[in-house]
Amino acid sequence: MTTDEAVAATTTPPPAGLRERKKQRTRSALVRSALELFTRQGYERTTVDEIAEAVQVSQRTFFRYFTNKEEVAFASQEAAECHFFAALCGRPADEAPLAALRGAVLDAWGSIGGDIEQLVPPELHMRMYRVIESTPSLLAVHLRRIAEMEERLAREIARREGLDIDTDPRPRLVVAMFGGVIRVAGKLWTEGEEDSVVTLQDLTAFHLDYVGPALAEKWDK
């Protein structure tokens, strides 16, 4: 799903058309059933046939909604990432790059529940995150998706600051730093016991503030 589609999905209350509504329902049902199965019995041990059967749909139909088995596993992640990116775009223009990124990620996690609970229960979303982190093949895809997001973030930072991303390395560097910190915090959170989002926020803020000042200094040089 692109950002545009995500925005459209939230700003169009009555999608109109029975055909379209049916499609949305099928898609949602596939996502929910898939995440339920993945979190219960593991990603590898769940077959596409199982997911399709749980929704009373043929396997072929599943592959018309999702290009592959991985894609359905990241459905709620996709929504969360759109949420985060939108938060960054809504940041005041006078904020420094790292401050804007920091504010966006903390805000996004704070208000994540309301945005994706239409798709899946937030609790399921969180459990699925752990499955992703602990399943090698999913972790690999997750890291690639993060890399793609970082590219978009760098372009947005460059736009905000009026820089040319092809000649100035700073947008990509600050985003790479930011991404590194986020991943360290996320990993520590996954390994820890606490499940709450607040813990994740605190952990992230702590690590960001640890390297933040040094990066901010360098930025202005």
Partner DNA sequence: GAGGCTAATGTCAGCGTCTGACAATTGACA
Partner DNA sequence: TGTCAATTGTCAGACGCTGACATTAGCCTC
Span near a second copy by CB under 8 A; candidates 17-25, 93-101, 116-124, 143-151: 143-151
Angstrom distances, CA of residue 54 to CA of 22, 58, 90, 178: 16, 10, 39, 40
H helices of the chain, where? Answer: 3-11, 18-41, 48-54, 59-65, 69-73, 75-89, 97-110, 112-116, 122-134, 136-161, 170-191, 197-220
Cα–Cα distance for residue pair 123/211, rounded to 1 Å: 31
> Residue 177 interacts with a second copy (CB under 8 A)?
yes
Residue 67 binding result from a second copy, DNA, none, given CB thresholds of 5 to 8 Å by partner type = DNA
Residue 155 binding result from DNA, a second copy, none, given CB thresholds of 5 to 8 Å by partner type = none
Cα–Cα distance for residue pair 190/199, rounded to 1 Å: 11
Cα–Cα distance for residue pair 147/149, rounded to 1 Å: 5
> Residue 23 interacts with DNA (CB under 7 A)?
yes
Q: Indicate the residue among 48 and 149 with the shorter CB distance to DNA.
A: 48
Q: Indicate the residue among 49 and 195 with the shorter CB distance to DNA.
A: 49
Span near a second copy by CB under 8 A; candidates 5-13, 113-121, 155-163, 208-216: 208-216
> Residue 213 interacts with a second copy (CB under 8 A)?
yes
CA count, 13 A, side-chain hemisphere, 12: 12
Q: Specify the DSSP class assigned to residue 92.
A: -
> Residue 155 interacts with a second copy (CB under 8 A)?
no
Residue 48 binding result from DNA, a second copy, none, given CB thresholds of 5 to 8 Å by partner type = DNA
Binding site for DNA (CB under 7 A): 17-20, 22-23, 26, 46-49, 56-61, 63-65, 67-70
Binding site for a second copy (CB under 8 A): 136, 139-141, 143-144, 147, 169-170, 172-173, 176-177, 179-181, 183-184, 207, 210-211, 213-215, 217-218
